[in-house]
Amino acid sequence: MGLDVSTFEDDALLLKIIDLATQVTTSFTGEYDWPLNLDGSINMEEHTKTHRRRRFFATLPSGGSYEARFVKDGQTHWPLHVKQEYEDSGHDCPDFNSFTVVVPDMEPEYCDELIRNGDISDGAENWWATMGGVAVIDESASGQGFAITSEYRTAEWMGPSQYFDSRCMTVNASYKVSAKVKLIDKTTKDLINCNPHDGSCPRLTTKLQSGAWEDTNESCIGIGGKDAYWHSSFEWNTFEYEFTISQVVADAGSVLMYPEYPNLDALMVFDDVSVHRI
């Protein structure tokens, strides 16, 4: 059995599995190869790629019943999302009688906001990139403080992104998405305009992933980008969309929100990102 969790978890995170028949508990540490620069610092462009995972592996007798929980600093912990996977695709091993991951309780208001560090006050914490890197830039001259961008975009789906906490993916829960965004030329840093009616403006998408280790079921669902939100006279424009969580989203192993934008000569700069329950 393999479990994938967020790369923003550290080495203190443990997986504890109890065999319900014998009551024997075994602790497992995760595996994550930190990408480093030549000077020993973390290579953030690699570290923040959404396909990177901290992985926990456990070899368990088939037919057993097991209960697993993540523990950090002696307390039950939830690492945003936990995706169950078999190590090998198409395995022929008998399945477990049961394998349950304990989901810790949340404060009632915890799921009111799905974005963590949406104002970028904690730097790049909780921000990934669908490749292209994550960079924090100072936008205090424009009145926004710090903002987030991806500096090395080479495809329209590359940009800053966040995972939603899977515990909050409740069917029929409705959320309002909002974010301030501006477009600037990579080279000149001049402002760029777009036309939302012809698909040339940024739009938001969710990527859902579930399934086995080498056979991931992946799909994408758009959550906004076609409305006339863009004003050419504004330095910063504002996304405002509403969406309702479907059964498909609730059942996914992980849910990632990211922007798409066809102009690869431009940077998308974001601040005050929020997904708030309504």
Residue 118 shares a structural domain with residue 235: yes
Residues 179 and 67 grouped into a single domain = no
Distances (CA, A) of 81 to 24, 163, 220, 263: 26, 8, 17, 31
Please tell me whether residues 252 and 162 are part of one structural domain: yes
Residues 167 and 89 placed together within one structural domain of the fold:
no
- Chain mean pLDDT for the chain: 86
> Distance between CA atoms of 2 and 68, rounded to whole angstroms?
12
Q: Where is pLDDT greater, at 85 or 183? A: 183
CA distances from 192 to 107, 197, 202, 227 (A): 42, 16, 12, 18
Residues near 107 by Cβ (< 8 Å), separated by ≥ 6?
none
Range of the domain at 197: 110-277
Q: Pairing between strand 98-101 and 65-72?
A: parallel
Instruction: Check whether 66 has a pLDDT greater than 90.
Output: yes
Q: Are residue 215 and residue 236 in the same domain, yes or no? A: yes
Q: Of 35, 70, 101, at which residue does a domain stop?
A: 101
By CB atoms closer than 10 A (0-12, 13-18, 19+), residue 121 is exposed
Is beta strand 146-149 parallel, antiparallel or unpaired with respect to 135-138? antiparallel
Q: Quick one: pLDDT band at residue 87, thresholds 50, 70, 90?
A: low
Asked whether residue 80 falls in the same domain as residue 124, the answer is no
* pLDDT number for residue 156: 92
2 pLDDT band (50/70/90 cuts)? confident
Higher per-residue confidence, 41 vs 147:
147
Q: Does one domain contain both 97 and 115?
A: no
Tell me what pLDDT residue 27 has. Answer: 94
| Nearest CA-CA partner of 50 in 245, 168, 208 | 208
Q: Are residues 45 and 125 in the same domain?
A: no
User: What is the arithmetic mean of pLDDT over 41-69?
Assistant: 85
Number of domains within the chain: 2
Are 98 and 18 a contacting pair, CB within 8 Å?
no
Task: Determine what percent of the chain is predicted with pLDDT higher than 90.
Answer: 48
Domain boundary among 101, 121, 139: 101
Whole-structure pTM value: 0.83
261 and 199, same domain (yes or no): yes
pLDDT at 159: 93
